[in-house]
Amino acid sequence: DADVTQTPRNRITKTGKRIMLECSQTKGHDRMYWYRQDPGLGLRLIYYSFDVKDINKGEISDGYSVSRQAQAKFSLSLESAIPNQTALYFCATSDPTGTGKTYEQYFGPGTRLTVT
Amino acid sequence: QKEVEQDPGPLSVPEGAIVSLNCTYSNSAFQYFMWYRQYSRKGPELLMYTYSSGNKEDGRFTAQVDKSSKYISLFIRDSQPSDSATYLCAMSDTGGFKTIFGAGTRLFVKA
């Protein structure tokens, strides 16, 4: 089974709708991240959480909110979706206390979101 | 000015060619330099990482970091069609509190 899972994998929604993207991990990592990926712009950080009680805004947090329900779960919400939020969304985890590849981030398979 | 610049390509090469991928960055606080590989419809996966300046080799892949020029490179020798993917550079400060990613270079290796 995948260590970082995302649901749904694909979603089409209409402008103004509320939508939630979910991320679960079995790696036991404290740090979790939400990114969006757009052609030519790469990965841009939306929100990140270094532990269950810690939530921080990233580079492009406007229009998004998050919830860290447990160490293993980190959800991203679009309160009122708009077309320019059409993108590929990735969840990632990292474990800075681990040995070896300390700064490695482990990514989920992504959610392709289309807002019409 | 973006904190990291990476040419998005696409870059198309014949099988067996040597591939050079590059990024420049502006923040001197970065100490860890990484290359991620992303296949179509997949999440990025770490390919190599280097701490501070210098070279690191892993099979057909070599990563180079020149902190004085704020320039990092990834070389792929004897490129294979299976190397066709998007390659993202990334860099992080000590402690991993800030990590940024380049836009990614899309590579096609033709058989």
Alpha-carbon distance of A14 to A29, in angstroms, equals 34
Low-confidence ranges of chain B (pLDDT < 70): none
Rounded to a whole number, what is the distance in Å from the CA of B109 to chain A's nearest CA?
20
Alpha-carbon distance of B16 to A17, in angstroms, equals 49
Amino acid B93: pLDDT: 84
Given an 8 Å threshold on Cβ–Cβ distance, is A104 in contact with B41? no
In the numeric block, which tokens belong to residue A29?
Answer: 């990592």
Amino acid A98: pLDDT: 61
CA A92, A109, A58, A81 dihedral sign is negative
Amino acid B64: pLDDT: 96
- Which tens digits make up the pLDDT trace of B39-63? 998 999 999 989 888 899 999 999 9
E strands present in chain A? 4-7, 10-13, 19-25, 31-38, 42-51, 54-57, 64-70, 73-78, 87-94, 106-107, 111-115
Do residues B49 and B36 lie in contact, with contact meaning Cβ atoms separated by under 8 Å? no
Given an 8 Å threshold on Cβ–Cβ distance, is A41 in contact with B103? yes
Given an 8 Å threshold on Cβ–Cβ distance, is A104 in contact with B49? yes
In the numeric block, which tokens belong to residue B45?
Answer: 């996966």
Q: Three-class SS of residue B98?
A: coil
Rounded to a whole number, what is the distance in Å from the CA of A72 to chain B's nearest CA?
18
Do residues A113 and A9 lie in contact, with contact meaning Cβ atoms separated by under 8 Å? no
Amino acid A101: pLDDT: 58
In the numeric block, which tokens belong to residue A95?
Answer: 């474990």
Amino acid A18: pLDDT: 96
Residue with tokens 């420049």: B24
Q: Please list the pLDDT of chain A residue by residue as tens digits (116 residues).
A: 679 999 999 999 999 999 999 999 999 999 999 999 998 888 999 999 999 999 999 999 999 999 999 999 999 999 999 999 999 999 999 987 765 555 789 999 999 999 99
